[in-house]
Chains A and B, each alone.
Chain A
Amino acid sequence: MGLLRYTLYRLLQAIPVLIGITIITFLLANLAPGDPVRLMLQGQEVDEELIETIEQRYGLDQPLHERYITYMSGLVQGDFGHSIHRNQPVSDLMLSRLGPTLLLVLSAYAFAIATAIPLGIFAATRRNDPADHISRIVALIGVSTPSFWIGIMLILLFAVQLGWLPSSGLVYPWWGPEAYDWIDTWPELLYQTARHLLLPMVALGTLQMATLMRVERTQMIESLQGEYVKLARAYGVPERTILRKHAFQVAQLPIITIIGLNLSTALGGAVLIEYVFNINGMGRLFIEAIQSLDYQLIMGITIVIGTMFVIGVIITDISYAYIDPRVTYGEEE
């Protein structure tokens, strides 16, 4: 059970990383200028005593390291604390916002992978043809254009000018059709979800698509020049099988790494895309938390996103070990 042991080993390794994340975020959030209590009172005139009471209630009068220890002792019991600004448990707030973000990021990834891999292979087999040059230009534009700008342009074109697709909000399939008085059936619900998801998905996925497409092309070209491809040809393997099997399998290894590592870019991009498309996800919640210096909420979201990223990297490593037989599980040390 090498793979299982390896997985456990990697999960254990993630613990110090996550502790590091909590320390850095805690320091950054608490050392940022501004006072959350005064911000909450929005400039109302109140006496110092009230402020002190509030500070005492939320433990803000304690020294920094003690506040951190208090926070961490709650965290290990699954308690993310209480949002002072919204007066709700942080875990409840996050839970309601996690779904839309995951839906957005995963669909953007699905879009990127589903388009980038065929296009990359296409470009690799038509190396230096006009089609290859076009794909290079498209990729260059995709990499260098900020996703929020793509989002705004998509809204202007498809929502404002053409009126084909909605410009904001999401329809959550997990709420069921009952939750929407303008939707009756399940198919209609899924259709509406897809309609709402299309523009933000493309806006967020374009960068990933462009990156992946170029890497896929390079990897395929390299793989197609491999000796093992020459050998397969010499034994009469049809060109299509070489492309789909022999060259493709080897070429996918770096792609998996890129997908895993780009998760951070995608999650970061989601923050802006949620803002542009008015989606109530973690990203929007995060921006609101920062604006109101809601320490507990900032901490909670950073930890969740950090955990998601760490898990993404672990999944990458594990699938790499699973796909590439040359990767050992670290038992031969």
Chain B
Amino acid sequence: MSSEPLLRVENLKTQFFTDAGTVRAVDGISFEVHEGEIVGLVGESGAGKSVASMSLLRLVEHPGEIVGGEITYRGETIFGLEEGPDGELREREDMLSNEAVRDRIRGNEIAVIFQDPMESLNPVFTVGGQLREFIELNRDLSGKEARAEAIRMLREVGIPDPEERYEEYPHQFSGGMRQRVLIAMALACEPSLIIADEPTTALDVTVEGQIIDLVDDLQEKYGTSFIWVTHDMGVVAEICDRVNVMYLGEVIEQAPVDELFHDTKHPYTQALLNSMPRPDRTVGELEPIEGVMPEAISPPSGCRFHPRCPDAREVCQRVHPEPKEVARADGYPHNAACVKHDAFDVGYDESPPLEAEPRLTAGTPGGEDGE
């Protein structure tokens, strides 16, 4: 961690207050994004990746709310709490107002590419009109200049005949072309950080490949940082510099990409990698991860992964591991939240193994208290 990071997220907690109870969708995650790098946010559906990325823009939808932690972008506080005189938590003085986040951060500084290119564009406005609106809103360009810039960006993302396509409506574009339009929107606002929320999940594999190559080229050209949200380890390997693996609202492993793949430190990450087909390994059968991810409304005690973990021991039911540095690579720490590493020293080695069959559901004995 040489220079000051572009974005720093510290112990971020986002919760949803539903009738059934409080859902701890994001439960104390920390990570950093540096200038010019692509940081992966990986995990299964429901791990809290999208909620985490929307929290960065303070766009969590009702009944969700950011309840704790700190988000700092280039020294400005997007979110931060402090203790008031009577012990109550209150928003910090230097936290940006709603208007400031809307006018100065969203689009200008941090742009988003959403998952579903079919639904993300407004069906009743032309593609060019929508692109121009965002450019006018987030840059000092207007009218003709904004239009010219929009056309330039459409060309930049590889849309043929951008002048004609500018006047067309989203339904006249294919899925891959629409995703290119969304990428053009993000880049056209000249942000320093782009959150790509599963941008290729809805596309077929060949188009996915093209889009990833495109982003790779443009990232190099513009030097924009990315947070790449995905469940696909293959995409991670291809595009990311550093990776955060999320499980049930927590970041359980954090490392530079090569380190993560070659020296995996968390059993969940290992399980994710084993469950994925890899051209460099011939296996008879893929190994799925046993069970399903429990719900974030009542996470298992101790380590949240222990009901599905092949390495789980008795101690894993009791001790909730915070991520700790277990190795170092390229000047970055390799953090993992698993007590089997020496850094934890809670008696994993002496602890008896949990009985073979991993449990399939969330309701584990030992109560609800995960912290």
A-side contacts of B134, CB under 8 Å? 235, 237
Asked if A33 lies at the interface with its beta carbon under 8 angstroms from chain B, I say no
Interface bin, chain B: 20 to 34
Give the distance in Å from the alpha carbon of A226 to the alpha carbon of B138 in the complex.
22
Q: Which of B96-112 contact A (CB under 8 A)?
A: 102-103, 105-108, 111-112
A-side contacts of B121, CB under 8 Å? 228, 231
Chain A nearest CB, measured from B171 CB (Å): 5
Asked if B356 lies at the interface with its beta carbon under 8 angstroms from chain A, I say no
Interface bin, chain A: 20 to 34
Cβ-defined contact, A235 with B106, below 8 A: yes
Asked if B189 lies at the interface with its beta carbon under 8 angstroms from chain A, I say yes
Given the known interface contacts A226-B119, A227-B114, the answer about A235 and B124 at a Cβ–Cβ threshold of 8 Å is no
Chain B nearest CB, measured from A254 CB (Å): 13
Give the interface centre of B59, B137, B138 by most chain A CB atoms within 10 Å.
Answer: B137
Given the known interface contacts A325-B123, A326-B123, the answer about A236 and B103 at a Cβ–Cβ threshold of 8 Å is yes
Asked if A323 lies at the interface with its beta carbon under 8 angstroms from chain B, I say yes
Asked if B156 lies at the interface with its beta carbon under 8 angstroms from chain A, I say no
Chain A nearest CB, measured from B359 CB (Å): 36
Chain B nearest CB, measured from A323 CB (Å): 7
Contact for B106 among A234, A253, A324, A325, CB less than 8 A:
A234
Provide the B108-138 mask, 1 if CB < 8 A to any CB of A, else 0. Answer: 1001101010011111111000000110011
A-side contacts of B125, CB under 8 Å? 249
A-side contacts of B120, CB under 8 Å? 227-228, 230-231
Q: Which of A113-143 contact B (CB under 8 A)?
A: none
A-side contacts of B108, CB under 8 Å? 236
A-side contacts of B126, CB under 8 Å? 325
Give the distance in Å from the alpha carbon of A236 to the alpha carbon of B108 in the complex.
8
Asked if B344 lies at the interface with its beta carbon under 8 angstroms from chain A, I say no
Chain A nearest CB, measured from B186 CB (Å): 9
B-side contacts of A85, CB under 8 Å? none
Asked if B57 lies at the interface with its beta carbon under 8 angstroms from chain A, I say yes
Asked if B169 lies at the interface with its beta carbon under 8 angstroms from chain A, I say yes
Asked if B337 lies at the interface with its beta carbon under 8 angstroms from chain A, I say no
Chain A nearest CB, measured from B33 CB (Å): 17
Cβ-defined contact, A233 with B119, below 8 A: no
Cβ-defined contact, A325 with B137, below 8 A: no
Chain A nearest CB, measured from B107 CB (Å): 4
Asked if A238 lies at the interface with its beta carbon under 8 angstroms from chain B, I say yes
Asked if A97 lies at the interface with its beta carbon under 8 angstroms from chain B, I say no
Cβ-defined contact, A325 with B171, below 8 A: yes
Give the distance in Å from the alpha carbon of A296 to the alpha carbon of B108 in the complex.
70
Cβ-defined contact, A234 with B123, below 8 A: no
Asked if B185 lies at the interface with its beta carbon under 8 angstroms from chain A, I say yes
Give the distance in Å from the alpha carbon of A324 to the alpha carbon of B126 in the complex.
11
Cβ-defined contact, A234 with B122, below 8 A: no
Chain B nearest CB, measured from A234 CB (Å): 4
Cβ-defined contact, B116 with A234, below 8 A: no
Main secondary structure of the interface of A (DSSP, over half): helix
B-side contacts of A325, CB under 8 Å? 123-124, 126, 169, 171
Cβ-defined contact, B169 with A246, below 8 A: no
Cβ-defined contact, B138 with A326, below 8 A: no
Give the distance in Å from the alpha carbon of A227 to the alpha carbon of B121 in the complex.
8
* Chain A residue, CB-CB nearest to B169: A325
Contact for A235 among B116, B123, B138, B171, CB less than 8 A:
B138
Give the interface centre of A227, A230, A231, A249 by most chain B CB atoms within 10 Å.
Answer: A231
Cβ-defined contact, B107 with A250, below 8 A: no
Cβ-defined contact, A326 with B169, below 8 A: yes
Chain B nearest CB, measured from A229 CB (Å): 8
Cβ-defined contact, B169 with A231, below 8 A: no
Cβ-defined contact, A236 with B119, below 8 A: no
Cβ-defined contact, B119 with A234, below 8 A: no
Give the distance in Å from the alpha carbon of A250 to the alpha carbon of B124 in the complex.
6
Give the distance in Å from the alpha carbon of A228 to the alpha carbon of B123 in the complex.
9
Chain A nearest CB, measured from B360 CB (Å): 33
Contact for B124 among A231, A236, A237, A323, CB less than 8 A:
A323
Give the distance in Å from the alpha carbon of A238 to the alpha carbon of B114 in the complex.
19
* Chain B residue, CB-CB nearest to A252: B124
Given the known interface contacts A228-B119, A325-B169, the answer about A234 and B112 at a Cβ–Cβ threshold of 8 Å is yes
B-side contacts of A249, CB under 8 Å? 122, 124-125
Give the distance in Å from the alpha carbon of A323 to the alpha carbon of B125 in the complex.
10
Give the distance in Å from the alpha carbon of A301 to the alpha carbon of B22 in the complex.
64
Give the distance in Å from the alpha carbon of A253 to the alpha carbon of B124 in the complex.
10
B-side contacts of A236, CB under 8 Å? 102-103, 105-108, 137-138
Give the distance in Å from the alpha carbon of A230 to the alpha carbon of B182 in the complex.
13
Give the distance in Å from the alpha carbon of A228 to the alpha carbon of B119 in the complex.
7
Give the distance in Å from the alpha carbon of A324 to the alpha carbon of B133 in the complex.
19
Nearest 4 interchain pairs by C-beta: A236-B106, A235-B107, A227-B119, A325-B169
Given A237-B133, A250-B123, A325-B169: 16 more A-B contacts, CB < 8 Å:
A227-B116, A227-B120, A228-B121, A228-B123, A230-B120, A231-B114, A232-B122, A234-B111, A235-B107, A235-B134, A235-B138, A236-B103, A237-B137, A249-B122, A325-B123, A325-B171
7 contacts across the A-B interface (CB closer than 8 A): A230-B120, A233-B106, A234-B114, A235-B185, A236-B102, A238-B102, A325-B171
B residues near A (Cβ < 8 Å) are 57, 59, 102-103, 105-108, 111-112, 114, 116, 119-126, 133-134, 137-138, 169, 171, 182, 185, 189
A residues near B (Cβ < 8 Å) are 226-228, 230-238, 246, 249-250, 253, 323-326
